Amino acid sequence: MSTAPTELVANKAPESAEALNRRASVANPVSAFEKTNLLGFSPSGMEQLFAEMGEKPFRARQLLKWIYHRKVTGFADMTDLSKKVRSRLEGEYEIRLPEVVVDKTASDGTRKWVLKMEGGNAIETIAIPDGNRVTLCVSSQVGCVLDCTFCSTATQGFNRNLSMAEIVGQLWVANEMLGPKAKAEGVACSNTPTSVNAITNVVMMGMGEPLANYQQVLPAMQLFTSDFGFGLSRKRVTVSTSGLVPYIDKLGVDCDVALAISLHAPTDELREQIVPINRRYPIAELMAACDRYVDGKSFQMSITYEYVMLDGVNDQPEQARQLVKLLAERPAKLNLIPFNPFPDTQYQRSSDDAIAKFQKILMNAGVVTTVRRTRGDDIDAACGQLVGQVKDRSRRRERWEKLGRIPVRTESADSKPGDSK
Ligand code: SAH
């Protein structure tokens, strides 16, 4: 006999997307530095800043090119800016990068960096080479505001939002670390927008819920996709969300990058247990938002649905057939993700056989279905398994204890996670 932890919290509706953004923004970082970090400016933000200094917009674009195309961080070297502008910048601004405190390479080439952020928090960023692509898995928060039951970040609680500069800093550092070295090793790609940028794809699948930190994530996406920034095509930048419906709509209007949805279950009943935000934004509302997202896009877009394979919980043939009903008529790709276990988890990874059968049912029904290869296993670098050094890792448990809702783990060896009394 076992009880799914989420059952115990089922009576409390999760917060709305707006409330999550409000709560998260209260925990925005407050910089201890005197100078403002220029990595925190989108192209339009930089133009505004230059306008306030009485400078023309093209000067802002010159500065952006120095930072993102030439990787120059000292104003003295930015020779096409006037001395007056340079000394003004010198006095009030700087280009401040996160400090690399750990740098590990896995046997399959996956590279993990632990980056020290402002205020001492550490987060992880992962670069995954695959053929002529190098994908960077970027974090948006320290910890996470959501309580998805299969995710190790959730067990750490929420600490704070990352600032735009800290999100951008992850890509800047990865490009720097991989650029010349990668080229020497033949990993750098011919299709990178500039010779200094080795990262070809970005996925917001690190720690945190990007759409709960919309204010900082949106301008970062704008910089990633701007020709004056990293110049990545919108198809190569993916925001992954558990489904904050109002912000999916906003993103579609503001910056229509590629979208991935953490679906993980075909019915509301099951999804509520695995992804609690489903109680606020049920599957029908989520799918309607996805349909709106792809409607009228300038390029043909299909949405990636992520589905973590949990043994005996969501990996049965019946659930594959339910997924077919949900996805077959939509521009959708399904990505099955073998569950990555972490200490104290109630779940187990589905067997390879169960995953293959599940995939076959979907493929036979015409749903494009891939199985994600687990990468960077030997350095704990799997997406969704980023164990940053969040100071208070027991926050979630504390919250539950305060509310008298202590999570009950599966005790009996023969019961399946997700079983409930
Ligand atoms: N909050 C966002 C982004 C972070 S999680 C979201 O929910 O999409 C990004 C992805 O990591 C999830 O979709 C899930 O596929 C994966 N993930 C999280 N925990 C995992 C685990 N224990 N095993 C395998 N994948 C996991």
421 residues of the chain, pLDDT tens digit each? 333 333 334 445 788 999 999 888 888 777 777 899 999 999 999 999 999 999 999 999 999 999 999 889 999 999 999 999 999 999 999 999 999 999 999 888 899 999 998 888 889 899 999 888 999 999 999 999 999 999 988 888 899 999 999 999 999 999 988 876 555 555 444 344 445 688 999 999 999 999 999 999 999 999 999 999 999 999 999 999 999 999 999 999 999 899 999 999 999 999 999 999 999 999 999 999 999 999 977 667 899 999 999 999 999 999 999 999 999 999 999 999 999 998 889 999 999 999 999 999 999 999 999 998 877 777 666 544 544 433 333 344 344 344 333 232 222 223 332 332 2
Distance CA 301, CA 294 (A): 6
Taking Cα atoms as reference points, which of 333, 347, 1 lies closest to residue 154?
347
CB of 384 closer than 6 angstroms to any ligand 1 atom: yes
For ligand 1, whether the C-beta of 290 sits within 6 Å is no
Q: How many whole angstroms from 151 Cα to the centroid of ligand 1?
A: 6
Q: How many CB atoms lie within 10 A of CB 64?
A: 21
Asked if 340 and 299 touch (Cβ cutoff 8 Å), the reply is no
Atom 7, ligand 1: residue with shortest CA distance = 242
Nearest CA to ligand 1 atom 16: 384
Whole-number Å distance, alpha carbon 196 to ligand 1 midpoint, is: 30
pTM of the prediction?
A: 0.86
Phi, psi dihedral angles at 288 (to 5 degrees) = -65, -40
Q: Is the CB of 350 under 6 A from ligand 1?
A: no
Q: In angstroms, rounded to a whole number, what is the distance separating the alpha carbons of residues 283 and 140?
A: 24
Burial 388-397 (b: 16+ CB within 10 A, else e): bbbeeeebbe
Q: Please tell me if the CB atom of residue 182 comes closer than 6 angstroms to any atom of ligand 1.
A: no
Contacts of 261 (CB under 8 A, 6+ apart): 240, 241, 242, 243, 286, 290, 303, 304, 305, 306
DSSP annotation of 32 = -
End-to-end CA distance of the chain: 7
Pocket test for ligand 1, best of 138, 144, 262, 335 (most atoms within 8 A of CB): 262
Q: What is the pLDDT of residue 363?
A: 97
312: left (phi over 0), alpha (psi -120 to 50) or beta: left
Tell me the CA–centroid distance for residue 136 and ligand 1, in Å. 15
Residue 345 alpha carbon, nearest atom of ligand 1: 22
CA dist., res. 207 & res. 381, Å (int): 12
The owner of tokens 């959708």 is: 332
Instruction: Give the three-class secondary structure for 34.
Output: coil
Identify the sign of the CA torsion 245, 248, 249, 254.
positive
Measuring from atom 6 of ligand 1, which residue has the nearest CA? 241
d(CA 29, CA 27): 6
Q: Which residues are catalytic?
A: 124, 383
Ligand 1 contact, 240 CB (< 6 A): yes
Q: Is the CB of 306 under 6 A from ligand 1?
A: yes
